[in-house]
Amino acid sequence: MKILKVNAVATGTFMAAVVLLMDVALAGPQDDLNRLESVGKLVETSSAARKVEGSGNRQAMAQHERARVLLGKAENAAAVGNQAESDALLKQATQTMYEAVRMAGTDQSLVDKDHSDFDNRLESVNALCDAYDRIRKEKGLGPPESSELYPIVQSKLEQAKSLKGQGKVKEGRQILDEAYVAAKVGIEHLRGGDTLVRSLNFASSEEEYHYEVDRNDTHRMLVSVLLKEKVSGSSSIDGMVGKFMDMASSLRKQAETQASKGDYESAIQTLEDSTKEIVRAIRGAGIYIPG
């Protein structure tokens, strides 16, 4: 425990020193040349810069490189007499460097896991998109681009990749999860929704009930993924969606009560009715999903 305490104090002291150095770099009374020099030392030769480069943390090192780019732009702006732009760029470089130092203190194994989770989820979404494309062709429904969900999924894929490129891997993973939900529901409805459920073999009514719970949850998530902008931009759509979702929630609670009493057959039917209300909410908002 004593060793951990020493490490924590040392880390806190180092971070305090970094923050102090950054404050000095941005202090008002300096002349322009000194301000450039201070931030230049912070980015290139300071103990903070050495810590980042020695951390082996890819995200931190990428952020450090972005700070270098911003510093170079600030120097160029100052050279042509655009001091206001130079000052703004110096501030960005300092803030970016601070973020690099913060990242350098992150366990690299956790960073690697974030990247691995992102890549695995991306692979799953791509596989679902391939399946979506194949099923549409089998049904003679035309190219996936003509559907409602496919462009949304592709847009979220691009957004997620962009976030990862900015070092925001966890944020990108959240967007990938939204794409996954949309693609998953899209495939289910292409295959016929309830028809697909009926074709599955369940060991018991309880197992089928839990499947329907997951299916209901997935559709609820799809409402959040697809309708955020539509609902916020129209009070009439918000009201309509709210009515369907209230009914869906009421039916969901009823199903849970039925299941708690062991009446899984009734609970399954009630959950299916709940999910249908959610589908009506999505379609009523102007996004058509087949099935």
Read off the pLDDT of residues 192-211 as tens digits, 9 standing for 90 and up.
Answer: 654 444 556 788 899 989 98
* pLDDT of res. 5: 37
Q: Say yes or no to pLDDT of 18 above 60.
A: no
**What does the pLDDT average to over 242-267?**
94
For residue 165, with 0-12 CB atoms within 10 Å meaning exposed, 13-18 middle and 19 or more buried, which class applies?
exposed
C-beta separation of 57 from 106 below 8 A: yes
Q: How far is CA 248 from the centre of its chain?
A: 26
* pLDDT of res. 111: 56
| 3 state SS of 169 | helix
Q: Say yes or no to pLDDT of 22 above 80.
A: no
CA distance 17 to 265: 65
| 3 state SS of 105 | coil
* pLDDT of res. 60: 82
Higher-confidence residue of 190 and 246: namely: 246
Q: Collect all residues with Cβ–Cβ distance below 8 Å to 115 and sequence separation of at least 6.
A: 164, 169
* pLDDT of res. 1: 37
pLDDT above 90: percentage of residues in the chain: 15
Residue 106 pLDDT class (50, 70, 90 cuts): low
Say which range, 15-29, 31-45, 66-80, 134-148, has the weakest mean pLDDT: 15-29
pTM over 0.75: no
**What does the pLDDT average to over 38-65?**
84
**What does the pLDDT average to over 176-205?**
73
Distances, alpha carbon 81 to alpha carbons 70, 85, 211, in Å: 17, 9, 66
